[in-house]
Amino acid sequence: MTDLAIDVRGLVKRFGKRVAVDGVDIRMPKGQVWGFLGPNGSGKTTTIRMVCGLLRPDAGEGSCLGLDIRRDVGRIRRATGYMTQKFSFWGDLTIRENLEFVARLYRMPGARAQVDRTLESLGLTGRQRQLAGALSGGWKQRLALAAVTMHQPELLLLDEPTAGVDPQARRDFWDEIHRLSAAGLTVLVSTHYMDEAERCDRIVYLAHGSLVTEGRVADIIKGSGLVTFRAAGDSVRALIPALRACPGVRHAAYFGAALHVSGTDRAALERAIAAHRPPGAGWEEIPASLEDAFIELMARAGADKRLH
C-alpha cells in the first residue's frame, strides 16, 4: 500500500499539434486537500482527467490510489469521484431520482438507504422532490457533490466546482469539503479563487501545461520574493499608470479601497513609491498575498508558446 493518493511522473497529453500537458509530476499524500491553480488553458482539467482514467496520457506514468493510471482505469474510476466544471446531471429528474440513477450505475447494495443517507448528509432531504434543472447554482453544486461522493470514493477530484455560485454557497461548499477530508477523503480541487486556495494544505500551480511550483501557500508567497506596499485614499487609483512605468514595480493594482504595489527589488520599489506619494496618505509595507504571488508567477511564465 502507498501513502500517496496521486503519484504521477512526466504526464504528457497532446491534442493534434497542441501540447495540453507537458511533463507534469504530482505526488499527493492521502488525507490532504490540495488546490490546483493556473490560468485558463493551463492544463488543469486535462491533468485531472488523466489522473482519474478518463484520458490516456501520451507519455508519462504513475498511479492513482496505488492503481496504474494506464492499466487500472476501471478500478480508478470506481475509487474516485470526479465533479466536472459544468453541471452534468439530469435536469428533468428530481434530486432523488438523480441519486438513485447514480446508485444503480455503481450497482450499490442497499441503494435506497444509501441515497437517504446522502440526502441527509448534504442537507438535501427537504428538496429531494425538486427537479434538478430548477435548482440554483449552489444547490446544483450540492447535488453534484452528493452524486460524486455517494459511492464513498477515496479520492475526490473537483474541477472549478464553485464557479458562478454566490459567496455563501462557496463557503458552505468548502465547509463540506473539510468535513469530508476530516473523515479521511483526499481532495484535489482546481480553482481561480485565492481565498479557496488558501483553505488548502498545499497548492499546485500550472502554466502553459507545465508545473511551475508546488507547496504550502506561505512558502509559495515567500518564494515569490515579492515586497508589497499599500496606500489608501481617494486619489490613489490615479497613481497606477505612473507607478507601472517605474523601474522596480512588478505589479500595481487597486484592491478594495487601497492601492497595492509589488516588486522583487526593494530599493527600486521604495524609490518608486517615494516619488509617487498619495496626497494625504502614506505607504505601509504589508505581507504579499497569494494573489500577488499568483500574478507574479503568471508574469514569470511568460507567453504561451505551445502550438494553438
Residue ending a domain, choose from 216, 243, 264: 216
Share of the chain above pLDDT 90, in %: 79
Same domain for 271 and 207, yes or no, is no
Same domain for 263 and 166, yes or no, is no
Q: Residue 280: which domain range?
A: 227-287
Same domain for 183 and 63, yes or no, is yes
Same domain for 93 and 211, yes or no, is yes
Same domain for 248 and 184, yes or no, is no
Residue ending a domain, choose from 160, 189, 216: 216
In a domain, 78, yes or no: yes
Helix (H, G, I), strand (E, B) or coil at 58: coil
pLDDT tens digits for range 136-179: 988 999 999 999 999 999 999 999 998 878 888 889 999 999 99
Beta-bridge partners for 284? 230
Same domain for 178 and 117, yes or no, is yes
In a domain, 25, yes or no: yes
Beta-bridge partners for 251? 262
Quickly state the pLDDT bin for 1 (edges 50, 70, 90): low
Residue ending a domain, choose from 162, 187, 216: 216
Task: Map grid coordinates 434543472 to a residue.
Answer: 133
Query: Where would I find the H helices in 106-239?
Result: 111-121, 137-149, 167-182, 194-197, 217-224
CATH code, 271? 3.30.70.100
In a domain, 279, yes or no: yes
Quickly state the pLDDT bin for 277 (edges 50, 70, 90): confident
In a domain, 304, yes or no: no
Same domain for 149 and 72, yes or no, is yes
- Neighbour count for residue 136 (Cβ, 10 Å): 11
Same domain for 88 and 150, yes or no, is yes
294 vs 195: CA distance, rounded Å: 12
CATH code, 153? 3.40.50.300
- Neighbour count for residue 73 (Cβ, 10 Å): 17
Same domain for 204 and 237, yes or no, is no
CA atoms within 13 A on the CB side of 64: 30
pLDDT for residue 304: 84
pLDDT tens digits for range 81-109: 999 988 889 999 999 999 999 999 999 99
Nine cell digits for residue 244:
507601472
Average the pLDDT over 103-118 and give the result.
Answer: 93
Quickly state the pLDDT bin for 299 (edges 50, 70, 90): confident
Cα torsion 14, 20, 23, 28: sign: negative
Conformation bin of residue 31: beta by default, left when phi > 0, alpha when psi is -120 to 50: left
Nearest residue to 100 (alpha-carbon basis) of 136, 75, 124: 124
297 vs 277: CA distance, rounded Å: 28
Nearest residue to 204 (alpha-carbon basis) of 182, 228, 225, 187: 187
In a domain, 308, yes or no: no
β 18-29/33-37 pair status: unpaired
Query: Where would I find the H helices in the chain?
Result: 44-51, 73-79, 95-105, 111-121, 137-149, 167-182, 194-197, 217-224, 240-244, 266-274, 290-301
pLDDT for residue 307: 59
Nine cell digits for residue 253:
493594482
Task: Map grid coordinates 492601492 to a residue.
Answer: 259
Average pLDDT, the chain: 93
Beta-bridge partners for 231? 259
Sheet strands side by side (includes 80-83): 80-83, 155-159, 186-190, 33-37, 202-207, 210-215
In a domain, 197, yes or no: yes
Same domain for 160 and 253, yes or no, is no
Contacts of the segment 257-261: beta carbons below 8 A, 24+ positions apart: 257/232, 258/230, 258/231, 258/232, 259/230, 259/231, 259/232, 260/228, 260/229, 260/230, 260/286, 260/289, 260/292, 261/228, 261/229, 261/230, 261/231
Number of domains in the chain: 2
Q: Is the pLDDT of residue 189 over 90?
A: yes
Average the pLDDT over 62-72 and give the result.
Answer: 97
Same domain for 160 and 250, yes or no, is no
Say which range, 1-5, 20-24, 87-91, 100-104, has the weakest mean pLDDT.
Answer: 1-5
In a domain, 294, yes or no: no
pLDDT for residue 308: 52
In a domain, 145, yes or no: yes
Same domain for 118 and 39, yes or no, is yes
